[in-house]
Structure 1
Amino acid sequence: MADPTQPAPPGAGLAGLGVSQGRAAGPVVRMAPPPVLPDPRQVADPGAEAAMVVKALESVTADLRQRAATAARDARGGDNAAPAGDDAAEILDALAMIADDPMLREDAEAAVHGGLDAPHALDTAFTHHRDTLAALGGYLAERAADLDDLKHRAIAACLGLPMPGIPAPGHPYVLVAEDLSPADTAGLGTDVVALVTEKGGPTSHTAILARGRGLPAVVACAGITALADGTVISVDGKTGQIGVGLTDEAVAELRRNDREERDRLAKSSGPGRTADGHPVKLLLNIGSAADLRPGAEGVGLFRTEFLFLDRKQAPSFEEQVAAYAEVFARAEMVVVRTLDAGTDKPLPFLGLPPEPNPALGIRGLRVDRVLPDVLDTQLDAIAEAARMTSADAWVMAPMVTTPAEAAAFARRARARGLTRVGAMVEVPAAALLADRLLEEVDFLSIGTNDLSQYTFAADRQHPGLADLLDPWQPALLKLIAFCADAGRAAGKPVGVCGEAAGDPQLAPVLVGLGVTSLSMAAVCVPSVREELSRHALEDCRKLAAQAR
C-alpha cells in the first residue's frame, strides 16, 4: 500500500539544502515581488529629492527598530516566548543600523545631486554597497542579500507603497521566496509552517532563525519560485526534499505524524547514552545566552563572534566579561570558541583588509598573527567571567593547523588560569596530526562544516556541491576517526560540533568512530538522544565500520 504522506504524482519533487529539520506540508504562498522602479524623471528640486531620500531611510530605520522592540518583548514573554525572539531582535537592530548608516545616506544624497531622482538615487547607493560586499565572497556575500531587502523597503517608502514583507493569507502555509531577508525571517508568524528559498546557504540568517524556531526550512532549491500560489507541497528540512502535488488527506497525515513526533521527542530527557549505557555528552551550539535551552548537558560550542558581528568598535573587556558570565551562570559546562573571524566572517572592528581567497587567508586563530591584543583581551575576559561564576569553562581556538599553534594558544590560555584548553579540527592537517595536537591541548572539537570544505576543496556555501559536503563521505569519516583514535590513546575527549553532530542517523556512526560528545542546535538534541539509545556501543562500531 502506498504511503499517503508521499507526494503525488511520483517524481514531481524538487530538492535543495535542508537547513532546519522537521517535516511540514501546506499550500505555497510566495513573497510579493519588490517594488518596480518607475522611469527616471527630471529633478527640478535636488533639495526636495534629497529630503525624500532621508525620509525614506528614516522610515525604514524606524520600522525595523519597532519590530526589533516587539521581538525583544516577545522573547521576554515567559512560557510562550518565541525561541528565536532574542536572535530576531538582534538581527533587526543590526539592519536598522545599516539603514541608518551615514555613509549610505551620503551616497544617496550625492546621487541626487548628480541628477538622479530619489528612488533611483536610493537604488544606486544600495546597489553600490551591495556589490562591494558581494565581491568579497563568503559570509559577506550572504549579507549582500540584506542590502537588497533594505533597498526594496527604502524605495517602497519613497514611492508611498507598503513595505515588502511576509504575506498574511489567513491560513497555514509554506512560505516560498527567491531569498528571505533577516527582517522577513524575524517577522514570521505562527501561520508559516515551513520555509523554502531558491537562494541562500546553510549559514544564512534564514537558516539560523529557522533552526532557532524549530521551523522546517530548505534553501538553494532551484525552481521553487516557479510553483504557483496554492500548490500543496511537503517540506523535509532534514533531507531538503520537496514533494509537489499532495492531496488534502496526505497533508493532514503528514501534519499529524509530525505533531506526534514532536510531542514524543519533547518528552525526551536525560544525558546521552547508548543502549548499553556508554555516555555521550549532548551539548548545544550557541551564539549567546539567548540560545540556551534545557535538555542538554552544557554548551559544546559558544560562538563568541556572534556577539560582535555588527560592532564597529572593539568590545571592551568589561562588555566581554558580562556576555560570557551570562552564559557561564546558566550552563553546567561551556566550551568557548575564541573569535572565529576573518574576511569570510568579518568583525568590522578588526579592520582586516579584503583578501582574494578569504577561506584560505587570515581567519580564526590566524587573526592573532596580525592582531595579538584581540586574543589576549578575550582570554582575559573569559578567565575573569569563569572566576566570577565558578563555571566549568573550557576554551578552544578555531582554525588550528599545526601543533606549534596549539601549543602557543595553550600556553596563553593556561597562563590566565584556564585549565581546559582545546583546539578545533577544521583543516586536514590538524586531523592528520591529531595525536601531536593532543600532546599540547586537553581536548579536540571537530568542526565538520569547515573540515568538509577543506577536505573536498568545495565551498560550503555552494549549493551545487552539496554531495561533496555530505558528512557521510568516507574521507571525512576517516579524518574524524584519526582524531578519535588519537583521543582514545591520549585519554582525552574528542567531540564533534559541526552540523553533522545534529544528524540522528549519523550520531551512532560518530560514536562508533570514538567521538565522546556531540554539540548541535537545541532542536536536534531530543532526536539524537533517542537514536543513540537504540544502539549498543558495539552496534555503533559496526555502523561506523560500514560507513567507512
Structure 2
Amino acid sequence: MPELTGVGVGRGTASGPVLRMAEPLGEPDQTPLQGDAADAKARVGEALAFVAADLGTRGAAAGGDAQAVLEAQALMAQDPSILDDVHAQIDSGTNPERAVFTAFKSFQDILSGMGGYMGERAADLGDVGQRIIAHLRGVNAPGVPESATPFILVARDLAPADTALLDLDKVLALITRDGGPTSHTAILARSKGITAIVGVTEAEKLGDGDVVIVDSAAGVVVTDPTAEQIADAEQKRAERLAAASAPLTPGALADGTKVPLLANLGSPKDAAAAVALGAEGVGLFRTEFLFLDAPYAPDVASQKASYVALLKEFPGKKVVVRALDAGADKPLPFLTDSGEENPALGRRGLRALRAHEQILRDQLTALAEADAETDADLWVMAPMVADVEETEYFVDLARELGIKTAGVMAEVPSLALMADQVLGVADFVSIGTNDLTQYTMAADRMLGTVASYQDPWHPAVLRLVAQLGEAGARASKGVGICGEAASDPLLAVVLVGLGATTLSMTPAALADVRAELSTHTLDEAKAMAQAAVAAPSAAAARAAAVSSVSTS
C-alpha cells in the first residue's frame, strides 16, 4: 500500500501520524417509549433547539463560507416537517432517539435519491441527526479527536461543523474516504487553506499512528514513507509557508505578463480579508445572500446599501458582480419554478430573471446607483447565458439602466461555441468552470457518484476555454475565470495559456496561485496549455502539463 489516491484540495503538503475520527453513533434500539409522550417531545424539542443554537454559534465563530453552511444545517435541525415526523412516531410509541434516527434517515434517503446538490446535503442532514441523538443520550457528538500533538485527520467524511472549526495548529491535513471536489468538506477545506485529499476510497486502511505524507497537489497519500520522502515533504511545506508570508505583489508571470488575481466573494463582510490576502479586486461577487431565505425580493434601497458596502472596499479596483443566480441548488419561491425534475437544466440564472424581469431591473438599478456613489470599477454579468440573443437582452437592459460594463458568464457550452458572436456584443466574458465542466461532461457537479467526471482538467473543457480565450483576444476583450479551476495553481497557469486574462478564486488560494504563476513565462504557459488540450483525458492533461514544464 505505497500510495492512495483521491481528489486533492489546494497545493499543500504535510506529513505526520494518522488519527482517525470516531465512527458515527450506533443505531438507536427499538425499545418502546417509556413514560409520557409529551415529555419525550419536549426533550426532542430541547435537543433540536440546542443543536441549532450550537451550529449557529459555530458558524458565527468560523465566518465566511463556513457560516453559510452551518446556518443551513441549523435550519435543518428546525425543519417542521422532520419534527412532525418525530412527533408522530413518538405518539405511536417509538422512543425519542429512535424517532429522531428514523425521521432524519427517511429525509436523508429522499435527498440522496434526488441527487445533485440535494444529494450532497444528505450527509449534512445526517450530521444534524447524530448531534441531536448525542444530546438526547447526554454524550458528546462524534467529532474531531483530541490530541496533544499535531496529526493528520482521517475520516469517512467530515461534517461542516467540524471542518469549519478545525484547529489548524493540530490538524496538519485531512483525508476523507467520501466526498468530491464540490462537497462541503472540499469547499470549506479550500476556503480555510487546509491541506486535504477527499474521495480516498481506501482511507479505511489507514490506522492510528501510521505515518503518511499528504500531497494535495498530486492527490496522493504516501504510506510508510522513507525519511528522505518526509524531509522532502517538510521542505515543500516550509517553502509554501514562506511564499504565503512573502510581501504581496500583483499577479504576474515570470516574464512580467500581468495576470490580475481577484477574489470570489459571497458577502461584503468578506472583502477586507480578501484584500489582506492580496486580492486585486473581485472577479465574482455572488448576490444570492440578499435573496436566500427571503419571502420576496429585496427592494432597490436595501440592495444598494449592500453593494455600496462592497464597492467602497475596492476603490479604483475592478469588481465583477453576478446578477442573481437562482434555480438548481438555490431555488427561490418568488422567482424559480418548483417541481422541476432536473432544475440544473431548467429555468435558472438569466432564464429565471427574464421570466420575472422586474427583479432583474431592480437589481441592475441598485447596482448602477451604488456605482454612482463609489469609486470602484463595476462590471456586471449575467449567469447561465446560452447564446447571443440572451447576451444582447442582458447587455441592452444593463446599459439602459446605467451599467457601464456588462458581460456574461460562460457556463453553457453553447455560449463558448458562439464565442465570437457573443464577444461582439458583451464587454467581457467570465468562465464559470464548475458549471461549464458539469454541462460539458453531463455530470452533476454536486453528485459524488460522478465526481470523477467533474474535472476541469478534461481536454473537452479546456478546448472550450481556448475558444473563448481566442475570441476574447480577437475582440480585445477580457476573458476571466471565476470557477474553482482558478484555485488550482497548475491549472491556473494552463488557463492563462489558453487566453484567460484574469483569475478569480477563493481568497485562501491567492498565495499559491501567485507563487505558481511567477515560475512560468507566457510561452511556457501556452506550451503547457497545448499539451493539456491534446491529451485524451483529465488525468493525462494534468500529466502532460507537468511533463511540459519539466522538459521546457
Question: Contact conserved, 2:59 with 2:71, CA < 8 A, in 1?
Answer: yes
Q: How much does 1:138 deviate? A: 1.4
Query: In the alignment, which of 38, 47, 50 is matched to residue 41 of structure 2?
Result: 50
- Pair 1:346–1:263, CA change in 2 (3 A): farther
- Deviations along 1:197-226, one digit per CA (max 9) or x if unpaired, are 122232232222212221111222212134
- Deviations along 1:222-247, one digit per CA (max 9) or x if unpaired, are 12134222222222223321111235
- Deviations along 1:504-537, one digit per CA (max 9) or x if unpaired, are 3233333233221111222332333333333333
State the distance in 2 between where 1:66 and 1:459 align. 32
Question: Contact conserved, 2:335 with 2:353, CA < 8 A, in 1?
Answer: no
Question: Contact conserved, 2:254 with 2:519, CA < 8 A, in 1?
Answer: yes
- Pair 1:53–1:305, CA change in 2 (3 A): same
- Deviations along 1:103-156, one digit per CA (max 9) or x if unpaired, are 332331122112211111112222233233333321122122111001001111
Counterpart in 1 of 2:492?
A: 507
Query: In the alignment, which of 125, 130, 133 is matched to residue 152 of structure 1?
Result: 130
State the distance in 2 between where 1:480 and 1:17 align. 22
Counterpart in 2 of 1:74?
A: none
Counterpart in 1 of 2:220?
A: 241
Counterpart in 2 of 1:202?
A: 181
Counterpart in 2 of 1:34?
A: 24
Is the counterpart of residue 303 in structure 1 residue 286 in structure 2? yes
- Pair 1:111–1:317, CA change in 2 (3 A): farther
Q: How much does 1:250 deviate? A: 4.6
Question: Contact conserved, 1:112 with 1:118, CA < 8 A, in 2?
Answer: yes
State the distance in 2 between where 1:55 and 1:116 align. 18
Q: How much does 1:40 deviate? A: 1.4
SS in 1 for 2:490: coil
Is the counterpart of residue 451 in structure 1 residue 436 in structure 2? yes
SS in 2 for 1:21: coil
State the distance in 2 between where 1:312 and 1:231 align. 52
Counterpart in 2 of 1:173?
A: 151
SS in 2 for 1:116: coil
- Pair 1:237–1:293, CA change in 2 (3 A): farther
Counterpart in 1 of 2:347?
A: 362
- Pair 1:212–1:188, CA change in 2 (3 A): same
Paired residue type of 1:387: A
- Deviations along 1:317-349, one digit per CA (max 9) or x if unpaired, are 444333322221112221111222212344466
Q: Within 5 Å, which residues of 2 pair with 1:466-481?
A: 468-481=453-466
What TM-score do the two structures reach when normalised by structure 2?
0.88
Q: Within 5 Å, which residues of 2 pair with 1:34-183?
A: 34-43=24-33, 44-69=35-60, 71=61, 85-183=63-161
Question: Contact conserved, 1:139 with 1:345, CA < 8 A, in 2?
Answer: no
- Pair 1:470–1:33, CA change in 2 (3 A): closer
Q: How much does 1:380 deviate? A: 2.5
Q: Within 5 Å, which residues of 2 pair with 1:196-275?
A: 196-246=175-225, 250-251=229-230, 253-275=232-254
SS in 1 for 2:109: helix
Q: Within 5 Å, which residues of 2 pair with 1:392-403?
A: 392-403=377-388
- Deviations along 1:461-501, one digit per CA (max 9) or x if unpaired, are 45565564443433322222211221122121111222222
State the distance in 2 between where 1:186 and 1:541 align. 38
Question: Contact conserved, 2:117 with 2:447, CA < 8 A, in 1?
Answer: no
For structure 2, list consecutive stretches of 5 or more residues without a partner in the other structure: 534-552
Counterpart in 1 of 2:542?
A: none
Q: How much does 1:276 deviate? A: 3.2
Paired residue type of 1:393: L
- Deviations along 1:247-302, one digit per CA (max 9) or x if unpaired, are 57754652343023221343153222333332222211222231623312211111
- Pair 1:471–1:61, CA change in 2 (3 A): closer
Q: Within 5 Å, which residues of 2 pair with 1:269-284?
A: 269-284=248-263
State the distance in 2 between where 1:547 and 1:310 align. 42
Counterpart in 2 of 1:4?
A: none
State the distance in 2 between where 1:463 and 1:103 align. 26
State the distance in 2 between where 1:229 and 1:349 align. 51
State the distance in 2 between where 1:88 and 1:266 align. 24
Counterpart in 2 of 1:487?
A: 472
Counterpart in 1 of 2:275?
A: 293
- Deviations along 1:55-75, one digit per CA (max 9) or x if unpaired, are 221221232233344x1xxxx
CA RMSD of aligned residues (A): 2.5
What TM-score do the two structures reach when normalised by structure 1?
0.89
SS in 1 for 2:255: coil
State the distance in 2 between where 1:476 and 1:363 align. 22
- Pair 1:174–1:373, CA change in 2 (3 A): farther
State the distance in 2 between where 1:474 and 1:95 align. 37
- Pair 1:56–1:237, CA change in 2 (3 A): same
Counterpart in 1 of 2:4?
A: 14
State the distance in 2 between where 1:443 and 1:365 align. 16
Counterpart in 1 of 2:543?
A: none
State the distance in 2 between where 1:316 and 1:193 align. 46
Paired residue type of 1:67: R
Question: Contact conserved, 2:86 with 2:99, CA < 8 A, in 1?
Answer: yes
State the distance in 2 between where 1:319 and 1:177 align. 43
Counterpart in 1 of 2:537?
A: none
Question: Contact conserved, 2:354 with 2:360, CA < 8 A, in 1?
Answer: no
